[in-house]
A and B are shown apart, each in its own frame.
Chain A
Amino acid sequence: MSRKPYVREISHTTWYLARRRDLLHMAQEVTSLFIGIYTIMLLWGVKALSEGPGAYQVFLDALGSPLVIAFNWITFVIMLYHSISWFSVTPKAMPVQIGEEFLPGGIIAAGHYIAWVVVSAVIYYLAGGFNG
């Protein structure tokens, strides 16, 4: 070790602002907060459902409050961002090897996008969304 090692100053709190790549990474990390809040909302709905029609109506009324609707619209956009960024890194996290070759990342990502559309359409259909 040299006696005066060079230490580059990096801020603990704002380092991700310097580079676009880091900023996008931080944005992806922050989506977890919204996923967490929405999941707790879902858990509250299940609790209300287990308690009976009265409790469930209170839950539905809460979903209709302007503040919750505004929060849910914001969360919806953030969820879309989570899905798109998650599927775009899937080929890197889960490479598929066939023989000596690796399947091109674009095909893996495209497969996930198609599956995403199908899964969403099936859930929407099962929830009666296409009944008009």
Chain B
Amino acid sequence: MARSNKPMVWSLFAAGGTVAAFVMPVLMLLTIMAGYGQLTDSLGYEGMKSFASGWMGKLFLLVVIVTCLWHAAHRARTALHGLGLRADKAVAVIGYGIASLGSLLAVFYLLRI
């Protein structure tokens, strides 16, 4: 039987879209507040360090980063096709390449915290 990586990429895409829909707006709001110098206790170095030191914090950040990267890569691929770019193979290699690298880096950095 022919094997395809399509279901795997698609399920990461759907998972990422759902994760992004649930948590991205509030994460954006918190990021903006951090930019304005608010919430220094929780979003400062000590607060974020203690959050990311626990396995729940690590898992949360890993799930958000990995699924959202794959979501973005897959959707950018269909979007670029829709916008008229006919270089699907190159777009797929670059997009999924960035998503793979980012996923590995997320694991690497999180394990060092």
Contact of A72 among B31, B52, B65 (CB under 8 A): B31
**In the complex, chain B residues 85-107 whose Cβ is within 8 Å of any chain A Cβ:** 86, 102, 105-106
Per-position 1/0 for B53-79, Cβ under 8 A of A: 000000001001100110111111011
The answer to whether A29 and B75 have CB atoms under 8 Å apart is yes
- Give CA–CA (A82, B26) in the complex, Å: 13
- Name the B residues within 8 Å of A98 (CB-CB): none
The answer to whether A49 and B65 have CB atoms under 8 Å apart is no
- Give CA–CA (A83, B18) in the complex, Å: 8
The answer to whether A42 and B25 have CB atoms under 8 Å apart is no
Is B9 in the interface zone, CB < 8 Å from A? Answer: no
The answer to whether B20 and A35 have CB atoms under 8 Å apart is yes
- Give CA–CA (A125, B73) in the complex, Å: 31
The answer to whether B113 and A32 have CB atoms under 8 Å apart is no
Is B37 in the interface zone, CB < 8 Å from A? Answer: yes
Closest chain-B Cβ to A71's Cβ sits at a distance in Å of 10
- Give CA–CA (A46, B52) in the complex, Å: 9
- Name the A residues within 8 Å of B17 (CB-CB): 82, 86
The answer to whether A56 and B72 have CB atoms under 8 Å apart is no
The answer to whether A120 and B26 have CB atoms under 8 Å apart is yes
Interface 9-mer from A1-9, A57-65, A99-107: A57-65
- Name the B residues within 8 Å of A110 (CB-CB): none
Q: Taking A38-B24, A79-B28 as contacts, is the C-beta distance between A30 and B79 under 8 angstroms? A: yes
- Name the B residues within 8 Å of A63 (CB-CB): 31, 34-35
- Give CA–CA (A18, B43) in the complex, Å: 45
Q: Which chain B residue lies CB-closest to A29? A: B79
Contact of A80 among B25, B48, B82, B109 (CB under 8 A): B25
Is A43 in the interface zone, CB < 8 Å from B? Answer: yes
The answer to whether A42 and B65 have CB atoms under 8 Å apart is yes
- Give CA–CA (A124, B65) in the complex, Å: 19
Q: Taking A13-B84, A68-B35, A82-B20 as contacts, is the C-beta distance between A39 and B102 under 8 angstroms? A: yes
B interface, CB within 8 angstroms of A: 14, 16-18, 20-37, 39, 41-45, 47-49, 52, 61, 64-65, 68-69, 71-76, 78-79, 82-84, 86, 102, 105-106, 109-110, 112-113
